[in-house]
Amino acid sequence: MQEENKQAIEQQTQEPLIAVGENGAERPEEEYPAVGESGASEPAEAPQDKQEKKPEPGGRRDILHLVCGGYLLYLAYKLLTGFLKDYPQSGWTTNLVVCIVGTIVFAIVGVVLLAGCIKRFLQRMKDSNEH
């Protein structure tokens, strides 16, 4: 049985492979599109005339980060002042703990967003001075 399987496999490997299209008709292998790792068809050669789009300096991302970072710092400030106002009257409550955690999270994320925005701005200033 194993000998027969070996012989059948050897015969199959010696026969030329035939490409068959969707309708069952034979097609030359060159007509099939190249398929990438994701399974999507890709062109065989990338066109040379297309250039990669580079993000524009000072784009929407920086504006969004600036606005969001500022708003998160504002929210952290409002939560902190609410905590300081309520703590002497009511002591440690669940609401105050949530305010503290929210203040810390909002402050950290706001500072990170603003710091990244300022860093990119300074980098662009440095690059423009070099050119």
Look at residue 110 and tell me whether its pLDDT is greater than 90. Answer: yes
pLDDT tier, 6 (very low <50, low <70, confident <90, very high otherwise): confident
pLDDT tier, 94 (very low <50, low <70, confident <90, very high otherwise): confident
Please give the residue that has the higher pLDDT: either 30 or 127. 127
The dihedral formed by the CA atoms of 59, 62, 64 and 70, expressed in degrees to the nearest 10:
-150
Look at residue 54 and tell me whether its pLDDT is greater than 90. Answer: no
Rounded average pLDDT over 46-60: 61
pTM value surpassing 0.85: no
Closest CA to 19 of 29, 33, 9: 29
